[in-house]
Amino acid sequence: MSYQDIDNEIAHFELVFGKISPNDRIPLSYWRNRLDMLPETLLMPTQRARLARLDATLRALELSANTPAAEEPPRAVLNRSGSARQAPAREPAASPPPLLSETS
């Protein structure tokens, strides 16, 4: 792989990493594999610095994908036979309709 090829690949990563999220169609593991395939021994110092920034960006995305959102703990409810089961997740409460005195 030539220096120009590596520069083109790094430029592509910089473009893509600025737009991806943990929920994209292409998994973050794909981008991790592509990033790890670049031969570090052939890199110039500026290319190494750019790859370090890309690695940090991808690591942050991977961490955000593995960090669960703040959710309330699952509730247990009893079914008809009396045994416990996990309750379905609740949707956020909708705002109540305005009172008649507020609309006039």
pLDDT value at residue 22: 87
How far is Cα 36 from Cα 54, in angstroms, rounded to an integer?
11
The pTM (predicted TM-score) of the whole model is 0.61
CA distances from 99 to 33, 71, 79, 92, 103 (A): 57, 31, 36, 21, 7
Please say whether the beta carbons of 38 and 6 come within 8 A.
yes
CB atoms within 10 A of CB 76: 10
**46-97 confidence digits (pLDDT tens):** 999 999 999 999 999 999 888 765 444 455 555 555 555 555 555 555 556 6
The predicted structure's pLDDT at residue 72 = 46
Closest by CA to 29, choosing from 69, 58, 67, is: 58
